Structure 1
Amino acid sequence: MPDPIGGPARPGTRRRGTTPLRRPARAVRRGLSQLLCAVAGLGLGLLAPLVTGGPQVDAGRVAGVLFTLGFGVISLVSIIYSVLFLVVQFSASTFTPRLGLFRDEPVVWRTFAFTVGLFVFCITAGLAIGSRESVSTAVPSVAVVLTLVALALMRTLQMKAFDSIQLGHSLSAITTRAHRLYDTLYVNPYTPTGAVPSPPVADAGAEVRWTGPPAVLQSVDVPALLGAARAGDSAVAFRVAPGTTLAEGTVVARVAGDGVPASVLLGALTTGVERIFDQDPELPFRLLADIALRALSPAVNDPATAVEALDHLEALLIRLAGRDLDVGRFHDSTGRARVSVPVPAWDRYVRTAVDDVLFAAAGSPMTLRRTRDLLRALAERAPAERRAVVLDRLRWAERTGGETYPLVWTNGTGTEPDGPSGTRTRGTPR
């Protein structure tokens, strides 16, 4: 997690970037866009009938067209959104219930906001015409153009829906969001001197506990906490990371000093009912592993899907293998550490990505071989200090594969004897 804008790097260390962890404004933008489109439709509907230039057409016929377009478009978009609920349900039951990529697509709520604005325009303009005998052709022309734009948005929405039920598009979407998040958080290369995670900035202090109903911590507004901590000469050490489920009484953080009241600290948290990508770097691994596990379940039995998920898991692990992951300390403009947030270490990423899939893959030679190849590639690309956790799992995969599938368990170069009753793949650990 990078340092805030304007704050110098920790003395004696490298600067960790300049993008702060701010509270997401997604819900605000959605509601605001719908309000703005409705207001714009209202204003345009009142102003358009005032245009007097150009050819004139019968006002009664134009009013009828406007009402027809308005109610027709809003009815069509209602039907489309009802069908899209089935798409969301399909993705949840086929891939993982935690996959909400389509629902979070901007085109979903932008299309709805635009159609609301078009509906308001058509109804307002139709009523504003009133009992006039004629009206400029600009009014129906604007209505037709806006309707065509709405239809184009609906088509884009449908294409996004179709993509969301395709395995390849879903895996690529998860990986793309993960790359964007990791390129923001982990901007420095890994060095052995950074192998030991930094301790929290406040080992002792007053505990701040969660007092609300169970919720998922989605994000932390670090810039707001940095300002409060500096103003009160305090330090805040979080005990939970984004993605953690908060139960009543959970210790959220420790505060050294009296400058950050519990209300201010809890007010800097964004919670919800599910995990989101904004500040949860472990979520992409969890989603990909869940897709692989569901594919390996006896009810589905689709090892090829698990192999595709492992392809993307390997790409993410290799991307992180050479980066400094200790990015959970934040400093104010004077260089003093004020806020710390737990972040996943390398071992945590490997365990989340591999462990559950590795044991489930024991019943599928195709998936077990792909997991073995993933671990081999990771052992070659990871720094020496990070290979132990990978080699432990590689040895287990080799041993399990050789014992369970002796006829097919080769590395492509043949096998060599390993005692009187078995074989061992050349070049693999015992």
Structure 2
Amino acid sequence: MSGKSGPSDRSWLPPRASQPRALASLRERLRDTFWFTPTVGLVCAFVLWWVLAEVDTKIVAHLKEEQAYEEIADLLAFAQDTRLIVTTISAAMMTFIGVVFSISLVAVQMASGQLTPRVVRIFVRSRITKLTLTVFLATFAFSLLVLTSYEGGASANPRRVTSVPLLQSTLTLGMVGLSLLLFIAFVSSTLRLMRVGPVVDHIAHESFRALERQPGGEPEEAPLEPETTRVMHRARAGVVRDVNVARLVRAARRRGVVLRLIPRIGDFMVPGMPVLAVHGGAAPPPYTLKYAVSVGVERTALRDPAFGLRQLSDIALRALSPAVNDPTTAVQCLDRMVQFLAVAVRLPLGPLHHRDRRGAVRLVQEVPGWSDLVDLAFEEIRGCAAGNPQVTRRLLAGLDDLLVLAAEERRQPLLRHRALLVEAVERTVPEAAERAFALYPDRQGIG
């Protein structure tokens, strides 16, 4: 595990939006669902219809008080004209919803087959996809509700009419216009995410945000007291997605102990496995540790910077497989890996020491070190790249660039991968001229 080296200034990282720590995990879970936003949209559509129906009723009541029956008759005529439009809208919106689903499923299938199944989460979490589906469903539901507000026709007696859906019909037309604009944006966004470049760029930005959320590691000031006991995992099996640091620090402070998180973010846990080691005393009560470690079905990038490298590596490996044979895609992934490591090389990546208000260490959390990140980025790709000069040239150029940025204590993993790559190319390529070509650093591969 690498110790602290390099400055802790993170000014080159993307700015972080201020967000309460306690709500981060809940927000992440909701973003991974596809039902929450449309459901909220349907509820809002019903509430909006109810409010506008009340306003329309008050408008008619006010006109009756003023005995403006001609104005009511005009409103009835307008409502009758818009009734056919609203009826058509309610029937057409289901067709639009079907089109949206069809485009989404085709895009997900193509991305999963050509890149990696892990990128499906990008489509599930896409804001424009959720917003488009939400507005379409809300427009459909709202138009059906508006149809229940019509009373008679244009020839109805203005003195007996209690409500005319004036505002409701107008808003329906506005929602149709918004739906058309969102449909254009949705198609454009989906086509963009079906290309490799935007996908790897999205993964890289997620990784940068996760890296910026992670506090800097620090060298251990003093060895921990002997381990006294361990806390076992009692929840369901799953991947460790997040840790409630504040809850664990409070529990450790009250007991006067230090807790050490055994699994890393991204590890798979099953019931009965040790999750926390207790140093210096008795374990905190079980209720104080409840929901302290969040597990889920799959990894997320919320607190897991290495997950982005894992996705990029998967895309590159599939591109280098004989069935696909797409080295250009692998080069694009290497571009983003080098970009990520160029930022990580300046950061302290030691174990995280979370402290209480008095400055005492209460929670120690292991995170991937510099060597771990370098191995994750280059180990598997290097094993598949020896026979492909485009990839070897780009990989060598990336290693050379990182060697320039790395401090002396962080150069060894880079030098090891460079030496292993050169050895692999020398074994694979017998001709000296081709070998020299494959071992020439080039940031574009072969241009």
Which TM-score band (shorter chain)?
Answer: 0.7 to 0.9
SS at match of 1:363: coil
Give, in angstroms, the shift of residue 395 of structure 1.
1.4
CA distance in 1, matches of 2:100, 2:438: 51
**Deviations for 1:256-277, whole angstroms, at most 9, x for unmatched residues?**
4456333543412222211110
**Deviations for 1:157-198, whole angstroms, at most 9, x for unmatched residues?**
22221111101111111111112222332569xxxxx5x567
SS at match of 1:286: helix
Give, in angstroms, the shift of residue 298 of structure 1.
1.0
Partner of 1:242: 265
- Larger helix share, 1 or 2: 2
Do structure 1's residue 410 and structure 2's residue 436 form an aligned pair?
A: yes
CA distance in 1, matches of 2:28, 2:223: 30
Partner of 1:115: 136
Q: 1:27 to 1:107 in 2, by over 3 A?
A: farther
Partner of 1:288: 312
Contact 1:200–1:329 (8 Å) recurs in 2: no
Do structure 1's residue 68 and structure 2's residue 83 form an aligned pair?
A: no
Bigger mean CA offset, 322-331 vs 405-414: 405-414
**Deviations for 1:14-55, whole angstroms, at most 9, x for unmatched residues?**
899998584242344766544443232112222334423775
Partner of 2:240: 217
Do structure 1's residue 149 and structure 2's residue 181 form an aligned pair?
A: no
Give, in angstroms, the shift of residue 403 of structure 1.
4.5
Bigger mean CA offset, 62-71 vs 176-185: 62-71
Q: Which amino acid aligns with 1:239?
A: I
CA distance in 2, matches of 1:137, 1:200: 74
Give, in angstroms, the shift of residue 333 of structure 1.
1.4
CA distance in 2, matches of 1:323, 1:77: 46
Partner of 2:284: 260
Q: State the aligned residue count.
A: 396
SS at match of 2:149: helix
Contact 1:289–1:356 (8 Å) recurs in 2: yes
Partner of 2:4: none
Contact 1:203–1:254 (8 Å) recurs in 2: no
Q: Give the gaps of 5 or more residues in structure 2.
A: 1-6, 11-15, 61-70, 441-447
Pairing 1:118-267 to 2, within 5 Å after superposition: 118-131=139-152, 133=156, 135=164, 137-185=166-214, 204-256=227-279, 257-258=281-282, 260-267=284-291
Q: Which amino acid aligns with 1:215?
A: G
CA distance in 1, matches of 2:216, 2:258: 25
Q: Which amino acid aligns with 2:337?
A: L
SS at match of 2:239: strand
Q: Which amino acid aligns with 1:159?
A: S
SS at match of 2:298: coil
Q: 1:142 to 1:249 in 2, by over 3 A?
A: same
**Deviations for 1:185-243, whole angstroms, at most 9, x for unmatched residues?**
2569xxxxx5x567896751332223445311111121232233334434321111111
Contact 2:317–2:380 (8 Å) recurs in 1: yes
Q: 1:78 to 1:393 in 2, by over 3 A?
A: same
Partner of 2:75: 56
Q: CA RMSD in A?
A: 3.1
CA distance in 1, matches of 2:106, 2:423: 44
Contact 2:208–2:305 (8 Å) recurs in 1: no
CA distance in 1, matches of 2:439, 2:371: 31
Q: Give the gaps of 5 or more residues in structure 1.
A: 1-12, 189-193, 415-430
SS at match of 2:210: helix
**Deviations for 1:371-421, whole angstroms, at most 9, x for unmatched residues?**
12221221121110011111111112223334433213337999xxxxxxx
Aligned counterpart in structure 2 of residue 26 of structure 1, from 3, 25, 28: 28
Contact 2:317–2:381 (8 Å) recurs in 1: yes
Contact 1:347–1:389 (8 Å) recurs in 2: yes
Give, in angstroms, the shift of residue 125 of structure 1.
2.0
Q: 1:211 to 1:198 in 2, by over 3 A?
A: farther
Partner of 1:47: 51
Partner of 2:403: 379
Q: 1:361 to 1:247 in 2, by over 3 A?
A: same
Q: 1:33 to 1:396 in 2, by over 3 A?
A: closer
Bigger mean CA offset, 290-299 vs 109-118: 109-118
Q: 1:129 to 1:214 in 2, by over 3 A?
A: same
Bigger mean CA offset, 149-158 vs 405-414: 405-414
CA distance in 1, matches of 2:393, 2:262: 38
Partner of 2:381: 357
Contact 1:201–1:237 (8 Å) recurs in 2: no
Identity, % of aligned positions: 23
Q: 1:413 to 1:26 in 2, by over 3 A?
A: closer
Contact 1:48–1:138 (8 Å) recurs in 2: yes
Contact 1:282–1:344 (8 Å) recurs in 2: yes
Give, in angstroms, the shift of residue 346 of structure 1.
0.3
